[in-house]
């Protein structure tokens, strides 16, 4: 019985879930993120595109920027971006991105 009681705390400690950097997307507000767009929204659902691909056939499939606000229906991103992959100059814009257009969001370190 003593062996079971000693084993139980060790078992429970080993079953903890890995800790995420934050508990919700709101915790990422003010931080630099990359937003990867849903492939269906881009008309590329049948194409094999990696989830963290940023350009495909000279077309941007993600945006980098500072996450300004989070709502249930979308996010607002302050982004500096290139219009085309070969452009030297950066443009800056604010984007509202609807939730259904987002594949994933990566927190940049």
Instruction: Give the model's pLDDT for residue 91.
Output: 84
Using CA atoms, how far apart are residues 34 and 40, in angstroms rounded to an integer?
18
pLDDT tens for 10-49 read 444 445 554 444 568 999 999 999 998 886 665 555 565 6
Question: For 2, phi and psi rounded to 5 degrees?
Answer: -65, -40
Give the mean pLDDT of 75-103.
87
Instruction: Give the model's pLDDT for residue 4.
Output: 40
pLDDT tens for 53-87 read 555 555 667 888 999 999 999 999 999 877 776 77
Instruction: Give the model's pLDDT for residue 6.
Output: 44
Tell whether domain 23-107 is in CATH 2.30.30.100.
yes
Q: Is the pTM of this model over 0.75?
A: no
> 81 vs 12, 19, 46, CA distance in Å?
47, 32, 26
Q: Indicate the domain borders of the chain.
A: 23-107
């Amino acid at each position: 019985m003593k062996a079971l009681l000693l084993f139980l705390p060790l078992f429970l400690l080993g079953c903890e879930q890995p800790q995420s950097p934050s508990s919700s997307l709101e915790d990422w507000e003010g931080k630099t993120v990359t937003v990867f767009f849903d492939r269906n929204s881009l008309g590329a659902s049948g194409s094999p595109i990696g989830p963290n691909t940023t350009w495909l056939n000279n077309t941007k499939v993600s945006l980098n920027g500072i996450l300004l606000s989070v709502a249930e229906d979308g996010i607002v991103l302050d982004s500096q971006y290139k219009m085309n992959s070969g452009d030297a100059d950066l443009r800056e814009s604010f984007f509202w991105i609807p939730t259904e257009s987002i594949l994933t969001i990566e927190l940049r370190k």
